[in-house]
A = this chain, B = another copy of it.
Amino acid sequence: MKQASTSTSQLGVMNFLNEVSFQYPAAVSFASGRPREEFFDVAGWIESIARFCEHDASTRHEDAASSLRRLAQYGPTNGVINALVAEQIGCDEGVVCSPERLIVTTGCQEAIALSLQALCADRGDTVLALNPTYIGVTGAAIGAGIELQPLDSDPGASLPALLARKTGALREQGKRARAFYVIPEFDNPTGTVITLDDRRAILEFCASNEIAILEDNTYRMFRFEGDARPTLAELDEYGCVVYLHTYSKTLCPAVRVGCAVVPKTLFGDAAASRNLLASMSENKSFLTVNTSQFNQALVGGVLLAENGSLQRLTRPATGFYRANRDTLVECLETHFGSESEGVSWNRPEGGFFLTLELPFEFAAPEMMECASEYGAIVMPMSFFSLDGSYRNRVRFAYSNLSGDEIRRGIERFAAYARAKIAGAAPCIA
């Protein structure tokens, strides 16, 4: 944790976000990518703890009360619902794995931290990430004293070409790219999807350079239209991919249950893969001991009730997020439809986030200004940037708002943007 005190620009973003939301409670907030609460069946999910216990008891030929008491104890570091989780990611994500390759973690965030720590154990070991990228990987790397290097921002270059360029530059500095963190489906913060061709090329490049791919698949269940691309883990013939998964969005954040799956062989080496898992497991035992078995039982009980797939359960929320995406895009077309405005955006096929480009800079002062004077909170994309770039872009999270809130929020944001474009926006000292 040696760099923790030297770099705070990324670390402060989370707190800043929370503060700005509290500071302007009347503002419409597009800041936070939270799942929609009306789809939480919390009481039903808590009851599913008992369902898991009955299942567990029947496999052990004991009564459910004994099973519940045993669950309340310390348990295996790597988890107790591994088989059910493996079944679900096999069924829903095409990621076929044996439960022994899976470690149940205290949310996906712990899975990221453990993966980075285990893969980047030597001096000069570096993690690559798209630029901009998820704050959680930046923070986990800083916290562990591991260097995180962004891929260059070169719209003309392909992803594999950017990877090759960065890897070569690191090598010249005596450093080594050991991992590449990526959210291939409905990226946080950009909402984009990596093409099938790029996925294959990334895998080939990473395999031949022995760079592990940390595939974070948090948003993949929320596809609005079109066909899902296979995950990198499914395409992986080389033993490149550490697959990261979470129930924070499909169920709810308070379950704090996620997982990491190590490849069958790490770059063809079965012992290296076992060592990777063992290292993650050891580090976990000294961070969180084991993931709460109550929370594991809750998730396990839901998976049992749903016969191993979360597609039925996530369908209503996916419909809601799609309607919100539609409302958001419609509002943007209404307010910024004219090309002369110089405002453009993507149309995400799924997930929680949309990227918008502005003809003016939108950083922390503009965020505060827009929140305080116009009542809309929008995230500057530069907050997620690893080199301070993307100062003209913003992230809209549309997952936890009603249609009316989106309409009101975009009307306010548009008023701000038009005033800014006209050079008439008030200044904050």
Measured between beta carbons, the chain B residues less than 8 angstroms from A12 are: 282
Give the total of A residues in contact with B, Cβ under 8 Å: 70
Q: Is A395 an interface residue (CB 8 A)?
A: no
Main secondary structure of the interface of A (DSSP, over half): helix
How many copies of this chain sit in the oligomeric assembly?
2
Residue from B34, B140, B287 in contact with A113 in the complex, judged by beta carbons closer than 8 Å: B287
Could you list 10 examples of A-B contacts with CB < 8 Å?
A1-B117, A5-B279, A15-B282, A37-B72, A106-B292, A139-B285, A140-B286, A142-B286, A288-B288, A295-B295
Measured between beta carbons, the chain B residues less than 8 angstroms from A122 are: 2, 5
Per CB-CB distance, the 4 closest pairs between chain A and chain B, nearest first, are A139-B286, A1-B117, A72-B252, A256-B292
A26 to chain B, nearest CB (A): 17
Contact call B287/A2, Cβ cutoff below 8 A: no
Q: Is A144 an interface residue (CB 8 A)?
A: yes
Contact call A107/B254, Cβ cutoff below 8 A: no
Contact call B288/A72, Cβ cutoff below 8 A: no
Q: Is A94 an interface residue (CB 8 A)?
A: no
A144 to B282 Cα, complex, angstroms: 12
A1 to B2 Cα, complex, angstroms: 9
Q: Is A70 an interface residue (CB 8 A)?
A: yes
Contact call B144/A1, Cβ cutoff below 8 A: yes
Q: Is A14 an interface residue (CB 8 A)?
A: yes
Contact call A143/B254, Cβ cutoff below 8 A: no
Measured between beta carbons, the chain B residues less than 8 angstroms from A283 are: 1, 4, 143
Q: Is A73 an interface residue (CB 8 A)?
A: yes
Measured between beta carbons, the chain B residues less than 8 angstroms from A40 are: 69, 72
- Looking at A34, A38, A256, the one whose CB has the most chain B CB atoms below 10 A away is A256
Q: Is A136 an interface residue (CB 8 A)?
A: yes
Measured between beta carbons, the chain B residues less than 8 angstroms from A287 are: 109-110, 113, 140, 143, 287-288
A83 to B18 Cα, complex, angstroms: 20
Contact call B117/A73, Cβ cutoff below 8 A: no
Chain A, residues 270-290, CB within 8 Å of chain B (1/0): the string is 000000000101110111110
